[in-house]
Amino acid sequence: MILIEKIEEMKFYIRERKKEGKIIGLVPTMGYLHQGHLALIKKAKEDCEVVVVSIFVNPVQFGRGEDYETYPRDLERDRDLCRREGVNVIFTPRVEEMYPQGYSTFVEVEGKLSSILEGASRPGHFRGVVTVLVKLFNIINPDYSYFGEKDYQQVLVVKKMVKDLNFNIQIIVLPTIREEDGLAISSRNSYLNKEERKAATILYRSLVAAKEQIKRGERNPHSLISFMKNLIEKEPLAHIDYIAVVNPKTLEEIEKIDKKALLALAVKIGETRLIDNMKIEI
Ligand code: AMP
């Protein structure tokens, strides 16, 4: 496994592999790798001859007052994990090279898809995500790129960008990997103290309870949201950002649950903002 920092070196490496006709897979991450990331890497290893894992805490996708500075970082540990998975390249560009002084080009998926839910709570977030991905896609030119369903809205936004900008990249989406008690694994879980960690299970528990209500015949999204709200509010460390019952393709609110729906929520546990979602099929 090699570690590449320089953009030109990364491009050169890829040019050489392309000459050899190799299939290239990219797993974009912000590092502090966990089982969720490793699931994406394992799938990439199955599909591709060359697997690149990018590790880049992307400043432009963090809003003011968010956790860019304190976001967990441990390159040594990430390196070991990637080596064990048979990753070919870790790409860790420097912020100053990705966004040099005078940098001024940003890519935005306009419209509702990126302005509701996470987009509403974190203005500019998807603009930052999409911009860094366009840069990574141009540098690495992968055949496949891997994303987790945990960031469900991100997947839809990325797929739209890939389609609109005619990238020849297959976006592969994998299910959310969870801890034994259901908590969706996230680098941000490391912020939680013992008490908060326990409280954080309320996200998954409320999704499961809502699904059960639907199984029992509940079809009204508003009643379902109230039901989840009541459950979550019983947890003193939890503060709801949003709870939504939406169309899984458009993320628009629905008036009745029939066939397919997505339950999505963002909840602060203490100071840590967590998200989760669950697809429902009747
Ligand atoms: P991040 O490092 O948080 O930006 O995540 C990098 C990629 O890993 C994104 O596509 C995430 O959706 C995915 N990911 C993060 N956590 C999980 C998880 N628990 N299960 C599956 N994929 C995940």
pLDDT at 58: 98
Q: Which residues of 179-204 are buried (b: 16+ CB within 10 A; e: fewer)?
A: beebbbbbbbbebbeeebbebbebbb
- Residues 59-67: what's their mean pLDDT? 98
DSSP 198-243: HHTTHHHHHHHHHHHHHHTT---HHHHHHHHHHHHHTSTTEEEEEE
> Which residue out of 37, 125, 222, 239 is catalytically annotated?
37
pLDDT tens sequence across 124-176: 999 999 999 999 999 999 999 999 999 999 999 999 999 999 999 999 999 99
pLDDT tens sequence across 3-14: 999 999 999 999
Answer yes or no: do 166 and 198 share one domain.
no
pLDDT at 18: 98
Percent of residues, the chain, with pLDDT higher than 90: 100
Long-range interactions of 16-23: CB distance < 8 A, separation 24+: 17/49, 17/50, 18/141, 22/49, 22/50, 23/47, 23/48, 23/49, 23/50, 23/143, 23/144
Percent of residues, the chain, with pLDDT higher than 70: 100
**Which protein residues are within 6 Å of ligand 1, measured from CB?**
29-30, 36-37, 39-40, 147-148, 150-151, 174, 176-177, 184-187
Is 282 part of any domain?
Answer: no
pLDDT at 111: 97
- Average pLDDT, rounded, for the chain: 98
Q: Known catalytic residue: 34?
A: no
CB 262 within 8 A of CB 152: yes
pLDDT at 235: 98
pLDDT at 218: 98
Report the residue among 27, 32, 37, 125 best suited for mutation to probe ligand 1: largest number of ligand atoms under 8 A from its CB. 37
Residue 36 Cα distances to 6, 104, 208, 236, angstroms: 27, 33, 20, 28
pLDDT tens sequence across 203-262: 999 999 999 999 999 999 999 999 999 999 999 999 999 999 999 999 999 999 999 999
Distance CA 106, CA 130 (A): 8
Answer yes or no: do 266 and 151 share one domain.
no
Q: Which residues of 73-98 are buried (b: 16+ CB within 10 A; e: fewer)?
A: eeeeebbebbeebebbbbbbbeeeeb
pLDDT at 241: 98
Q: What is the amino acid identity at position 186?
A: S
Is 181 part of any domain?
Answer: no
Note down the domain range covering 256: 187-277
Answer yes or no: do 53 and 158 share one domain.
yes
**pLDDT tier for residue 16 given thresholds of 50, 70 and 90:** very high
Looking at the CA of residue 150, tell me the nearest atom of ligand 1.
Answer: 12
Domains identified in the chain, total number: 2
Q: How many CB atoms lie within 10 A of CB 56?
A: 18
Q: Which of 112, 144, 174 is the last residue of a domain?
A: 174
Answer yes or no: do 167 and 192 share one domain.
no
- Residues 42-55: what's their mean pLDDT? 99
Is 180 part of any domain?
Answer: no
pLDDT at 133: 99
pLDDT at 146: 99
Centroid of ligand 1 to alpha carbon of 39 (angstroms): 9
Q: How many CB atoms lie within 10 A of CB 139?
A: 20
149: domain CATH number? 3.40.50.620
Answer yes or no: do 132 and 247 share one domain.
no
Is 179 part of any domain?
Answer: no
